[in-house]
Amino acid sequence: MSIQNSSSFLVRAAGTSDWAALAGIDSIVAAGDSARRTNIRRWCEQSSVVMAEDSSGPLGYSVLEYTFFEQGFVTMLMVAPGTRRRGVGARLLDAVEASCTSPKLFTSTNVSNQPMQRLLQRAGWSPIGLLHGLDEGDPELFFLCPQRLTRR
């Protein structure tokens, strides 16, 4: 993936050496989840991560994998708490969509995650299903990026 400039930040493919900086902005890692830290390192080593950054450092990252029925799946989208509502999440979604090589692109979020749902709706993603049982009392809502279907 090439670097995409914005007026205030850029989006680029994360390298193996970026994992620690990305873990440093992840709110789940900050809450003490060492498994997330390990996942970030693995995702970077697998070249599955795009990241947004400015002169202060990383602002957010997104992970694209092809483990969901061999289709693109946004496994993670994380924006640093102090930089939310600046368009970082939208730019990360755009970058993932542009780099996806499968005909379909999916993601999911908990029903309780209203900010992510609003981001996906603003970006044109469609809710396509609900799965109970992953997180007790907080079903997972799945989304499809319809723009992918019109480009093929």
Q: What distance in Å separates the CA atoms of residue 63 and residue 76, rounded to the nearest whole number?
A: 5
CB within 8 A of 57, min separation 6: which ones? Answer: 21, 24, 25
Q: Please give the CATH number for the structural domain made up of 4-151.
A: 3.40.630.30
DSSP symbols for 57-113 = EEEEEEEEEEEETTEEEEEEEEE-GGGTTSSHHHHHHHHHHHH--SS-EEEEEETT-
% of the chain at pLDDT higher than 70: 92
With a cut of 80, say whether residue 49 has pLDDT above it.
yes
How many CB atoms lie under 10 A from the CB of residue 130?
A: 11
pLDDT tens across 80-130, in order? 998 998 899 999 999 999 999 999 999 999 999 999 999 999 999 999 999
> Which of 65-69, 76-80, 146-150 has the lowest average pLDDT?
146-150
What are the residue ranges spanned by the domains of the chain? 4-151
- What confidence tier does 146 reach under pLDDT thresholds 50, 70, 90? confident
